[in-house]
Structure 1
Amino acid sequence: MSQENRLDKTTRINSLFDFYELLLTDKQQMFLKYYFHDDYSLGEIAAEFSISRQAVYEHIKRAEQVLEMYEEKLGLMEKHYRRVRDLEELKSTLSSSGVTHEYQSQMMDIVERLEAND
């Protein structure tokens, strides 16, 4: 796997983890944190827990599959990023819409409240 693909995968897993962490088992949470957040190697994690590298690899792979399954079924991450894109588009449209400054300010306040609720 290329460095860029590894970085993309790490970014995706970390994002999914942010959304679905509490739906994972304690062991899955711990192994993913060590591997993706703290950048431990499989060998370092195996030594820490006195298990084989293969066992660590299987725990991590299974946790990744679980995260992907939750996203496939619930779509929370995609909905979040879509909402962020839509809010940015709305802000841009408001800025260039030609409406009065007062109305534009009111609308931007609403957008900011929506962003704060994210």
Structure 2
Amino acid sequence: MEIEKTNRMNALFEFYAALLTDKQMNYIELYYADDYSLTEIAEEFQVSRQAVYDNIKRTEKILEDYEMKLHMYSDYIVRSQIFDDLLEKYPEDQYLREQIMTLSQIDNRE
């Protein structure tokens, strides 16, 4: 499994997990976050390997569709870069630093 896809799926999962079914959440989390194989997931849930594969592929598409419509992950990346740039450009501005930290906390809350 390629690392870039794994990282992206984990990130999309963090943003959109609440929109998935319990089964979708379980399969994606086990496959991408916990590095289970399709066979291990199939055994865990007593289903076929093909059923797990199909569910994961469908869920990947769902996560990508959510991102295409909502842009939560891509907007987060842009905001983070802007925050980093501002902190680098104005390292002595304590007020700016505090405001950026407040905004970052909002972005990172559960």
2:89 matched to 1:93?
Answer: yes
- Tell me what 1:9 maps to: 5
Overall identity of the aligned pairs, in %: 42
2:99 matched to 1:110?
Answer: yes
TM-score (norm 1): 0.84
Residue 53 of structure 1, CA deviation:
0.8
TM-score (norm 2): 0.90
Amino acid paired to 2:83: L
Residue 109 of structure 1, CA deviation:
2.2
Residue 46 of structure 1, CA deviation:
1.0
Structure 1, unpaired ranges of 5+: 96-100
Structure with larger Rg: 1
Residue 51 of structure 1, CA deviation:
1.4
The alignment yields a C-alpha RMSD, in angstroms, of 1.3
Structure 2, unpaired ranges of 5+: none
Q: Which moved more, 1:80-89 or 1:104-113?
A: 104-113
Q: Runs of 4+ in structure 1 displaced over 3 angstroms?
A: none
